[in-house]
Amino acid sequence: MVKRNLVLSKSFEKSYIKFVHKRPILKNAIQKSILLLAEDALNPKLKTHKLSGNLYGMFACSCGYD
């Protein structure tokens, strides 16, 4: 299996830091989701979906209810 090279945007990194600062208990779940995304982007646990607009061609995933 090929591991994907994920590109995390600056805006994601800033949002991640803010989010984890307010909810440190979710840090582990987010990190697991990012690793799972790199291994298998279409894993049903991630609820992966295509983006549109200026992010057309890219994918997003969910790492929990929030």
Give the DSSP letter of residue 62: -
Residue 9 has a pLDDT of: 85
pLDDT, tens only, 3-47: 778 888 898 899 999 999 999 998 998 899 888 888 988 889 888
Find all residues with CB under 8 Å of 56, minimum gap 6, and list them: 50
Structural domain boundaries of the chain? Answer: 10-60
Please say whether the beta carbons of 20 and 13 come within 8 A. no
Q: How confident is the model at residue 1 (pLDDT cuts 50, 70, 90)?
A: low
pLDDT of the residue at 17: 94
Determine what percent of the chain falls in helix, strand and coil, rounding each to the nearest 5: 55, 5, 40
Q: Quick one: pLDDT at residue 66?
A: 59
Between CA 49 and CA 17 the distance in angstroms is 23
